[in-house]
Amino acid sequence: MKLYGAIDLHSTNNVTVVIDEQDRVVYQKRLPNDLALILKELSVYQSELQGIVVESTYNWYWLVDGLMEQGYRVHLANTAAIQQYEGLKYTDDHSDARWLAHLLRLGVLPEGYIYPRADRPVRDLLRKRSQMVRQRTTNLLSIQNLLTRNRNTGSSLNAKRVKGLDVQQVDELLTNPDLALAVKANLSVMLSADEQVELLEQSVTQRVKLRPQFCFLKTVPGIGEILALTIMLETGDIGRFPSVGNYASYCRCVGSQKISNGKKKGQGNTKNGNKYLAWAFVEAAHFAIQFNSKIKSFYQRKKAKTKGVVAIKAVAHKLCRACYYIMRDRVPFNITKAFGQK
């Protein structure tokens, strides 16, 4: 008899369900998040289980790794792509788990990528760097806003000048002690984040190097060592993307919409895909328009017709598509193929 399992995972507990080929529930129970106990409960059905689904929640690592180590065929459910059955009037954790098992049985389960365990720590280290960069930028912008609003000149300081400020200069710029203290608080956090970014970059570059198939990423204008490593570690196996469109969608570089009977049902691509790759290609786009005249011209043409942020995303989309072919075919960047003849 073929069986299908699913685990609806939460922070402290889970609902484990096993169904048969007719969708009949063979086992269903809420369990504490104890790997040994979960394995014990499932062991009775292991030989007949065709697979077991685990929700792609924030805390799935320990459970997926533990199940795979014991020989289970694990499927990571892409929860953002799963829609609950509309006919259900009431749902709970048990029905959620049964629904996941049902989708697995039918062979229509939207699956996420189970990233190799050995590479996760370094990838997460780069994600922490990304977080620190955002915090640094947030505090820099806050300093600029405070100074612009409260100085008699009404003018702002550019980023380079803000990064060079010290406590004495803040006191000279702002005579009000409360405003000066607010800027000093932002300045302290910004400098601390900057220091952490440098430490994280040093650690990452010492621990991991670009694999041969990813080395050509650095031929792309705007992509240096750190962004290349980010793209490599977040992408994983490029072969899992059947087309450049799939990859661009995963990188959130294209919009998405559903049209039925000529009517737009939904749009946007803000939750699906990989936000870190989206960030990486936007960062690369900002650098590329500074250092490559052809890409800058493309950006300016787009900006003349639309908003600057949309123009940057258009550049990011072009870079994303170029990187797909670079990684797939192991070839250097070709500016003409990526941005045309103009």
**Residues 101, 126 within the same domain:** no
Structure tokens, 151: 């100085």
Q: CA-to-CA distance for 2 and 71, rounded, in angstroms?
A: 16
In a 13 Å sphere around the CA of 262, the CA atoms on its Cβ side amount to 0
The 3-state DSSP class for residue 163 equals helix
What's the pLDDT at 271?
Answer: 63
**Residues 152, 172 within the same domain:** yes
**Residues 335, 216 within the same domain:** yes
What CATH number corresponds to the domain at position 43?
3.30.420.40
282-294 average pLDDT score: 95
**Residues 58, 132 within the same domain:** no
Return the amino acid letter for 316.
A
**Residues 110, 192 within the same domain:** no
- pLDDT tops 70 at residue 91: no
Enclosing domain of residue 31? 3-114
**Residues 168, 149 within the same domain:** yes
What's the pLDDT at 175?
Answer: 87
- pLDDT tops 60 at residue 266: no
Q: What's the domain count of the chain?
A: 3
The strand pair at 13-19 and 3-9 is best described as antiparallel
Choose the final residue of a domain: 68, 85, 114. Answer: 114
- pLDDT tops 80 at residue 209: yes
**CB-CB contact of 172 with 183 (8 Å):** no
Choose the final residue of a domain: 114, 131, 155. Answer: 114
What's the pLDDT at 281?
Answer: 97
Lowest-confidence segment of 42-46, 64-68, 184-188, 336-340 by average pLDDT:
336-340
Task: Render pLDDT for 97-152 as a digit per residue (tens, 0 to 9).
Answer: 999 999 999 999 999 899 989 889 999 999 999 999 999 999 999 999 999 888 77
Q: CA-to-CA distance for 302 and 289, rounded, in angstroms?
A: 12
256-270 average pLDDT score: 49
Q: Is 147 exposed, middle or buried (0-12, 13-18, 19+ CB in 10 A)?
A: buried
**CB-CB contact of 285 with 316 (8 Å):** yes
**Residues 135, 174 within the same domain:** yes
**Residues 325, 260 within the same domain:** yes
**Residues 249, 286 within the same domain:** yes
Q: pLDDT band at 211, cuts 50/70/90?
A: confident
**Residues 96, 127 within the same domain:** no
**Residues 20, 126 within the same domain:** no
Q: Angle at CA 8, nearest 5°, toward 90 and 86? A: 30
Choose the final residue of a domain: 67, 95, 114. Answer: 114
**Residues 225, 310 within the same domain:** yes
